[in-house]
Amino acid sequence: GSESPLNGTDVLNATAAKFVATPEGTALAYGSLLFMALLPIFFGALRSVTCSKSKNSSDMPETITGRDAARFPIIASCTLFGLYLFFKVFSQEYINLLLSMYFFVLGILALAHTLSPLMAKVFPASIPIKQYQLLFTQGSGEAKEEVVNYEFDTKDLVCLVIGGVVGVWYVLKKHWVANNLFGLAFALNGVELLHLNNVCTGCILLGGLFVYDVFWVFGTNVMVTVARSFEAPIKLVFPQDLLERGMDASNFAMLGLGDIVIPGIFIALLLRFDISLKKNSRTYFYASFLAYIFGLGLTIFIMHTFKHAQPALLYLVPACIGFPVLVALIKGEVTEMFRWVRRPHPLHPKPRSLSISLSTAISSSHQRLGLPEGCLYGEVIGMNP
């Protein structure tokens, strides 16, 4: 059977007795996971800068305020416990069938949004670009309300078709490559479109989830139960037996998207802070990016040394906050860093609750579809075949 991590950013190496990962296989798996985690953070942060300046309503970021950040660990805990009770009461086959359909739609939209800037560059100029609109409304006359307003053009249509092919591949085969394509798209959308309004908010969010993570991983069996029952592309996976079995490998090391998106939105914030200083340097961005590599590397090292589950945010949060603050202390810019507030674009809507923001970022910037709040928190886990 397969185990899919959902909540609790922990590292666990639970390989079956019949398969012992070779040192080369393990090194390749965790090295690949670390590399894959860096892609959505790096490119998502760069795209968040463009996104913050965008005048296009479909590409507007969602702002996370201090109140949202403080509330989020409580909402995530309630969602996690709700899912735990749900899996106890109902058959997990039916739940996972519903989730497969749900993430099939979300994945296509997220992948299409991820590919759209690339498609804009490579799309042949000879092909005419037509505009399309998918509009669902409820009510009539003056009481008419928009439920879905999805605007797209020929380039977006090609992206949606590519996303659809990956989606069908994922639903039918649950192949790890298709899972990773969706996972990377979700993570990149999250980092690009979720904007913390200041560094204090970032510290509140990371601090709250640090406590949430440690409590649910070490304090109860809720995290493990939900993680093993939940099948959705909310983690990146890489087989430890790839060298022996090729693309049919089935003994996976995993990294949950929460370990990427949560530190990632803080790293993206620091890149925008760097740009606001107008000093033509990216000191804080690089400091936090290196901190992330150090934190995740340390998590994997400790897991491998002690052969015991480790919550990744236990190491990522102190590193991602500590490194940039240390740099600010050395440069004498601590006050400036903590006083800096992201000025919303005048066209941007008012900040919404984090639950709406998360769902927006994950589905795509165009489509306002919901994602259960607990769903971003995953684990790095060695999986039984």
Q: Is 213 among the residues known to form the active site?
A: yes
Q: What is the rounded distance in angstroms from the CA atom of residue 194 to the CA atom of residue 342?
A: 12
Cα–Cα distance list, 51 to 24, 29, 65, 186, 268 (Å):
40, 33, 18, 16, 11
Q: Residue 359 and residue 356: Cα distance in Å, rounded? A: 5
- Residues whose CB falls within 8 Å of the CB of residue 346, separated by 6 or more in sequence, listed in order: none
Catalytic residue among 59, 68, 241, 259: 259
Whole-Å CA distances, 356 to 153, 187, 365: 25, 16, 12
**Encoding tokens for residue 370?**
């919901």
Q: What angle do CA 307, 312, 313 make, to 5 degrees?
A: 150
Closest Cα to residue 374, out of 262, 299, 218, 293? Answer: 262
What does the alpha-carbon distance between residue 233 and residue 256 come to, in Å, rounded to a whole number?
A: 9
CA distance 180 to 132: 29
State the Cα–Cα distance between residues 269 and 276, nearest whole angstrom.
Answer: 11
| Residue 9 contacts residue 313 (beta carbons within 8 Å) | yes
Give dist(CA 225, CA 308) in Å, integer: 17
Reference 239, options 21, 7, 5, 3; nearest CA is 21
Q: Which of 68, 213, 241, 274 is catalytic?
A: 213
Strands 194-196 and 62-64: parallel
Active site includes 10? Answer: no
Active site residues per annotation: 213, 259
